[in-house]
Structure 1
Amino acid sequence: MEVLFYVVPLLMIGTAVFLLTRVVRRAREVRSAWGSGLTAEARCLRTYTTTSGGGETMVSTTLHHVYEFTTRDGRSVRFEESNGPATVVEGDIVTVHYVAERPERATAHAPARGKLAAESGCLVAFLGVFITGCVIFMVVVHVFFSTADAFFP
């Protein structure tokens, strides 16, 4: 039974570490795309929304855009990006920023380094606190079970 108090927090920590790496990786990709200086005009091919939640939880809606552009070397690239502006609809032309080596990791978000740092920093801080809380919980449970064995043989 006490194994459950270790396995569940470890699974939660694993999920948080996975999310942490995704947040940091995407922030680095976007920052690199903005810093590369390479831009292109892209056409929005499709927009769609996804929803999650419901029932007793809050419903969350995410707007997705699918863009296509041509790189400077003539390669046609299509990519999808979430949380874009709701004012961009199918057929609109937008400016995308990309890195020459990985144009499929482009972004249509306008450069906003402070906003990116704040968003990423808050998520990293939250996930760090969450992971720390899980570790503290496991330590407390370990101490409780090890002292309980001494008092209740």
Structure 2
Amino acid sequence: MEVLFTVVPLLMIAIALCGAVVVLRRSRQVSSAWSSGITAEARCVRSYTTTSGGGDSMVRTTLHHVYEFTTRDGRVIRFDEEGGPPTTVEGDIVTVHYLPDRPERATARVPAQGKLAASTGCALVFLTAFIAFAVFLMVVANSDGSMP
């Protein structure tokens, strides 16, 4: 039984660390595109929603947009971005920011460094609390109740 309370929290920590890496990587990509990237006009070619949850949990709906633009060197790039403005519909023209060496990682989000930093920080605080809880579970489960 003690193995269960060691393996499961370690798995939780590994998943949280992977989540932190994903959050930091995407934040860095978006920030780089805003600060040193190139802009282009893109057309929204598709808009759709995805849902998750249900049953005993709350249903979450996420709005996605698919954008298409042409880079300065003539390549046509199509990318999907979630969480865009609900007022953007198919056919709308938006400005996208991208790095010349990674145009497929473009973003149509309006530059807002403070908002990006705040959302990244909140996600990292949540993941840190999640890791702390997993460590707490391991310590409590593996302690024999005696004082050192």
Normalised by the length of structure 2, the TM-score is: 0.94
Report the counterpart of residue 73 of structure 1 in structure 2: 73
- Runs of 4+ off more than 2 Å: none
**1:52 maps to which residue?**
52
CA RMSD of aligned residues (A): 1.2
Give the distance between the partners of 1:59 and 1:15, measured in 2 at CA. Answer: 22
Separation in structure 1 between the aligned mates of residue 144 and residue 99 of structure 2, nearest angstrom: 52
Instruction: Give the match for residue 127 of structure 1.
Output: 127
Give the match for residue 24 of structure 1.
24
Following superposition, the deviation at residue 133 of structure 1 comes to 1.6
Compute the displacement of 1:116 (Å): 0.2
Matched, 1:98 2:105: no
Indicate the larger mover: 25-34 or 135-144.
135-144
- Residues 122-131 or 136-145, more deviating: 136-145
Structure 1 residue 71 displacement after superposition = 0.8
Instruction: Give the 3-state SS of the residue equivalent to 1:18 in structure 2.
Output: helix
1:114 shift after superposition: 0.3
Alpha-carbon contact 2:67-2:80 (below 8 Å) kept: yes
Q: CA deviation at 1:10?
A: 1.4
> Shift in Å at residue 76 of structure 1?
0.9
**Structure-1 separation of matches of 2:90 and 2:9:** 43
Q: Measure how far apart 1:144 and its partner are.
A: 2.9
Deviations 1:66-105 (A, max 9, x none): 1110111111111110000111111111000000110100
Q: What is the 5 A alignment of 1:108-147? A: 108-144=108-144
Percent of residue pairs bearing the same amino acid type: 65
User: What whole-Å deviation, never above 9, does each CA across 1:101-141 have from its counterpart, x for those lacking one?
Assistant: 10100000000000000000010011011112211221221
Partner in structure 1 of residue 62 of structure 2: 62
**Which blocks of at least 5 consecutive residues in structure 1 are unaligned?**
148-153
Q: Match for residue 15 of structure 2?
A: 15
Q: Distance in 1 between matches of 2:30 and 2:86?
A: 19
- Report the secondary structure of 1:87's partner residue: coil
Report the AA paired with residue 35 of structure 1.
S
Q: How many Å apart are 1:63 and its aligned residue?
A: 0.5
Q: Please say which structure displays the higher CA radius of gyration.
A: 1
User: Deviations 1:12-38 (Å, cap 9, x if unpaired)?
Assistant: 111111111110000000000001141
| Preserved contact between residue 44 and residue 66 of structure 2 (Cα < 8 Å) | yes
Unaligned residue ranges in structure 2 (runs of 5+): none
